[in-house]
Amino acid sequence: MLQETITRDQPLQRWQDYVVPQCWEAFTDEDHAVWDLLFARQVELLGSRVVSAFFDGIDLLKLSHPGIPDVEGLNAILEPRTGWRTVAVPGLVPDDIFFAMLTERVFPVGNFIRKREQLDYLEAPDCFHDMFGHIPMLAHHDFAEMVEHVGRLGTAAIAADEGERMARIYWHSVEFGLAREGGELKILGAGLASSFGEAHFSLESDEVERLPFSVGRAVHTPYRHDAFQPRYLVSKSLERTIAHVLALTPERLLAL
């Protein structure tokens, strides 16, 4: 996300304009096999490397069921639990549309999956990144509330022409955040949870900076979307990240 790949030939102003049918029936056996391969590989890799809420969500949403999940089946479990639902989109949506979706507890998921030859390379987030990386955490009640708040803050920041501030907080928490749990360093962000190479790298590389997470630091820490991050922000806990983001107001965000 946070990269504009859907071009606006005509001005589209409602997030609903970006939603497309998932067309689950159009996924081929090979597509489902790629999902299963990615899923098995990533679950084995993550093991105890990810915050426990992540696997709670995987179990609750029955994501270990073989094949690419269909959005309706996923929503049938997710929506009654936290009020979140997924919608299919053909690619990255503009930031204002993305944040508008979050304010309504709607999460966009790509309607495509990478090819077997590109297991580790992605030009744009596909349904494995979106559904495996993001959706499990949206089954966590407090995290679910935080992401809705991110949507409100992002919308307010864009209106003040300061959208990058919220993009950076989003990036350093929901996408690429690390957090301590039981004294150990764990993956929190979806970009890490869904990446084979960067999941290892973020936790184990000696070549990166790991700095304590705060919303103030996140606002002033640039990120890369074309390479592994040169620095990660580490929260004292998942709960701390949630509390700090929920305590943020649009006014304070703009003053940080």
Site residues, Fe ion (CB under 5 A): 1, 190
Could you confirm whether 194 is annotated as catalytic? Answer: yes
Q: Is 205 labeled as catalytic in the residue annotation? A: no
Q: Which is nearer to Fe ion, 1 or 127 (CB)?
A: 1
- The CA-based dihedral angle spanning residues 171, 175, 181, 184, taken in that order and rounded to the nearest 10 degrees: -90
State the Cα–Cα distance between residues 202 and 205, nearest whole angstrom.
6
Nearer to Fe ion, 53 or 190 (CB): 190
Minimum separation from the CB atom of position 139 to Fe ion (A)? 16
Catalytic residue among 173, 194, 214, 235: 194
The H-assigned helical ranges of the chain are 29-46, 52-60, 71-82, 95-103, 127, 141-159, 163-170, 190-193, 196-204, 215-219, 238-246, 250-255
Known catalytic membership, residue 134:
yes
CB of 206 vs Fe ion, minimal distance in Å: 26
Residue whose CB is less far from Fe ion, 33 or 45: 45
Which residue in the list 140, 148, 173, 175 is annotated as catalytic?
175
Q: Tell me the pairing of strands 178-181 and 184-187.
A: antiparallel
Clarify whether 204 is annotated catalytic.
no
**Smaller CB distance to Fe ion: residue 1 or 215?**
1
CB of 122: closest distance to Fe ion in angstroms? Answer: 10
What is the distance between the alpha carbons of residues 84 and 185, in angstroms, rounded to a whole number? 28
Q: Which residues are catalytic?
A: 129, 134, 175, 194
